[in-house]
Amino acid sequence: MQRIRTTICEIPSGFVASYGQVAEIAGIARGARQVAYTLSHLPPDQVLPWHRVIKASGKIAFAEGTENFDDQSKRLMIEGVVVRNGKVDMKQYRWQPDLDELLWKPCSSWDQKTP
């Protein structure tokens, strides 16, 4: 769904959002599972900052020790997000956009480049 991809694209470097938060901002009530489904079914040529989407508890959704877990942790840490025991401090790193940011900030070029 394009609204989900656009919302994920808007999450700034150094911040994270939960699956439910992405759904809410995208206008999909109770759509956390739809966000997860969308991310798991991205076309191979679609590049988004998927690593910025985590569980509401701050945990990385992938099992610890898997390639995806390690990749997401690494990408977050490169952006300055501290990951401890597979968890991010949501109070510190949660993206909290104001209305102006949601209405006027253009989408980053994530969908045009490979990370």
The DSSP annotation for 27-39 comes to T-TT-HHHHHHHH
Cα–Cα distances in Å, from 57 out to 19, 61, 104, 110, 114? 10, 10, 29, 26, 28
pLDDT mean over 43-59 = 93
Q: How far apart are CA 63 and CA 19, in angstroms?
A: 17
In this structure, is residue 42 part of a structural domain?
A: yes
85 lies in which domain range? 2-102
In this structure, is residue 108 part of a structural domain?
A: no
Identify the pLDDT of residue 1.
80
Name which residue leads in pLDDT, 57 or 115: 57
In this structure, is residue 17 part of a structural domain?
A: yes
Residue 111 above 70 pLDDT? no
- What predicted TM-score, i.e. pTM, was given to this entire model? 0.85
In this structure, is residue 110 part of a structural domain?
A: no
In this structure, is residue 112 part of a structural domain?
A: no
In this structure, is residue 109 part of a structural domain?
A: no
How many domains does the chain fold into? 1
Q: What is the CATH number of the domain that holds 70?
A: 1.10.10.10
pLDDT in tens, 57-107: 999 999 999 999 999 999 999 999 999 999 999 999 999 988 776 666 655
